[in-house]
Chain A
Amino acid sequence: MLYKNPYNNYFDYVVQRDLDKCIRCKACVAQCSYGANFYDADRDVIYSTDANCVGCMRCSTFCPTDCIRIVRNPDTFRPNANWKDNNMKDLYKQAGTGGIIITGMGNDKPYTNYWEHMVIDACQVTNPSIDPLREPMELRTFLGRKPDRIEIDKKGDMTTKLAPQLVLETPIMFSAMSYGSINYNVCESVARAAKELGTYWNTGEGGLPKTLYQYGERTIVQCASGRFGVSPEYLGAGAAIEIKIGQGAKPGIGGHLPGEKVLEGISETRMIPVGTDAISPAPHHDIYSIEDLKQLIYALKEATHYEKPVSVKIAAVHNVAAIASGIARAGADIIAIDGFRGGTGAAPKAIRDNVGIPIEVAIAAVDERLRQEGIRNAVSLVAAGGFRSSSDVIKAIALGADAVYIATSALMSLGCTLCQQCHRGRCAWGITTNDPELAKRVNPEIGAERLVNLIQAWSNEIKEMLGLMGINCIESLKGNRDRLRGVGLSEVELTALGIQQAGM
């Protein structure tokens, strides 16, 4: 390409097009939102500017003759075990721009994935397994503070007054994604799916559009450091309130929705002028201690007449167990812990890939600590950050989570291919964009169906796995680490996870 900057032109993908199979339908041209595909009427040919390709596969999936292949750019630097391609490309980019590299989605670095080093137990001979197709299998999960003891009257009815609870028909919820970072159609898809599935979705920090209030009883409304969209009406609309302290993809920093993404609907919902940046401060400026957090928790409970559970969401960091203990004691009903593989619409790459800890060890540490302190019943634990399958979910529950939050997986069921361009607002799959032409690529009818399919599939798999463990209720698996064993882990890692080596 002419006029290119030679230092800055080491691109990642090549669009290969078999011109013999290409029928010039231009599907690929219209679908590419990054300007990589062009139709040249003079030559009657479609060609590509490879440097613009982000590898999202939108064009190749739409090609009716399968004539497009997206391949890694075969240009090869001299192999270097220390200087990997991405190190080099990032460096060149920064030398050109002088800027922080921003990226989207979750940590993609090859840290140890502990889910892949844990295996699940099964019944053989001495205790019978259960066939979930023939016998009842309970996935219903209650989130909220459980009493230290219960009292029963003479008739056998419980007299203890329970704290407010969320009731999930399956232990999987949709994690916080703000309106603005994702568009209305995605919000609606997720909300509809949550309602149909009998679980919850989370507004994230962008408020709740009025037209989605109809899903309020299946909505967790978030209150973050920017307080965007927070009003008495908003707090009253949800089934629970979540205070967002931190996010796994970018612990310790706030959020930033660029002004270009703040269009009319978003402006109204966030209660900020159109076109202004929506900046969430790194900390809540009224929270500098557990005591301050307690004030906010009770302020929110007060505002909603103690009828709704309050959740506190933190990123998984080194001393997560102690922090969680403090949060439990501050009066939270639910603690959501977001591991370092959790996604984001935009984060500095350096932070996304290097800050925080894996959710596997965090959830194990928190569960263990709360048990030791005798307050495990005081809160429910929700694990988040990179759940890819039903087996990840079931292992998290065995490690001590009450339920999990998923977001990346949810977006993938809407088409996301993890191209990590969310921050650019040009998502070709119509997810992390507010451009009306792109946003309509997510039809909530289809979106909700696909989300329901995914969660139903996972739920069925969870039932199968509970059955093979001889368990007929998800509650019985919670924190049951004896049903897990480690494979290929060091003794220290096994200790951190609180599990035994396989074969022992």
Chain B
Amino acid sequence: MKVVYPREQWCVACNLCEVACMTEHSKTKDPLKAYRTEKPRPVSRTRVEYRPPLAISIMCRHCAEAECVEACKNGSLTRNEVTGRIELDQDKCLGCWMCIMACPYGAIGQVTRPVGQEERRVANKCDLCPDREVPACVSACPNRALVFEDRG
């Protein structure tokens, strides 16, 4: 299946993947409003590690045998048998962080999510942008340091 792979040798640490991810997963899909006015502020699901001269953007790899799915307490994380994608149901998530503990890539983060009147801290991970043909981070990367590929 196609997932996003980082190509470390070309990552220039511009953080635009993070901005694109945050924007794509915002209500307004506008970077300015996503950052300035949306409450709670959306959080990028990819993260740029930066140790000059090295940089790399890392997000969920949608593992065939996903350790996050195996660790999830209540089935909020599941593998979609049709697409192969690892899907997170944020409305169901208990915020127990078992997935964060289990993910060997450190690719699951946290986000505050409004549910009715309350705000819950829930897990947050790459969903490969279901509304887009190519994930936002890949489209935003100016140097092809992120590619959307099927490597078998």
List residues of A whose CB falls within 8 A of some B CB.
21, 23-27, 30-31, 62, 64-65, 430, 435-437, 440-441, 443, 445-446
Whether A30 contacts B32 by the Cβ 8 Å rule is no
Q: Is B151 an interface residue (CB 8 A)?
A: no
Bound: A446/B141 CA distance, A: 12
The residue from B10, B31, B50, B140 contacting A23, defined by CB atoms under 8 A apart? B31
| A/B interface sample: 8 pairs, CB < 8 A | A25-B19, A30-B13, A65-B31, A436-B53, A437-B52, A437-B54, A443-B144, A446-B144
Q: What is the number of residues of chain B that contact chain A, defined by CB distance less than 8 Å?
A: 25
Whether A440 contacts B9 by the Cβ 8 Å rule is yes
Interface of A is mostly: loop
B-chain residues with CB within 8 Å of residue A62 when the two chains form the complex:
14, 16, 142
- Supply 16 further A-B pairs (C-beta < 8 A) apart from A23-B31, A437-B54: A23-B36, A25-B15, A25-B19, A30-B14, A31-B14, A62-B142, A64-B20, A65-B32, A430-B12, A436-B53, A437-B53, A437-B55, A441-B12, A443-B10, A443-B145, A445-B144
Q: Is B28 an interface residue (CB 8 A)?
A: no
Residue in B closest to A21 when the chains form the complex, CB atoms: B32
A-chain residues with CB within 8 Å of residue B20 when the two chains form the complex:
64
B-chain residues with CB within 8 Å of residue A435 when the two chains form the complex:
53
A-chain residues with CB within 8 Å of residue B9 when the two chains form the complex:
440
What's the least CB distance linking A342 to chain B, in Å? 29
Bound: A24/B44 CA distance, A: 14
A-chain residues with CB within 8 Å of residue B52 when the two chains form the complex:
437
Bound: A437/B10 CA distance, A: 9
Q: Mark B36-48, 1 if CB is under 8 A from A, else 0.
A: 1000000000000
Interface of B is mostly: mixed
The residue from A27, A437, A445 contacting B14, defined by CB atoms under 8 A apart? A27
Bound: A21/B36 CA distance, A: 9
B-chain residues with CB within 8 Å of residue A24 when the two chains form the complex:
35
Whether A441 contacts B16 by the Cβ 8 Å rule is no
What's the least CB distance linking B147 to chain A, in Å? 10
The 4 tightest CB contacts between A and B, nearest first, are A437-B53, A23-B35, A436-B53, A30-B13
Residue in A closest to B8 when the chains form the complex, CB atoms: A440
Bound: A175/B139 CA distance, A: 33
Residue in B closest to A26 when the chains form the complex, CB atoms: B15
What's the least CB distance linking B28 to chain A, in Å? 13
Bound: A445/B54 CA distance, A: 19
Bound: A30/B50 CA distance, A: 10
Residue in A closest to B53 when the chains form the complex, CB atoms: A437
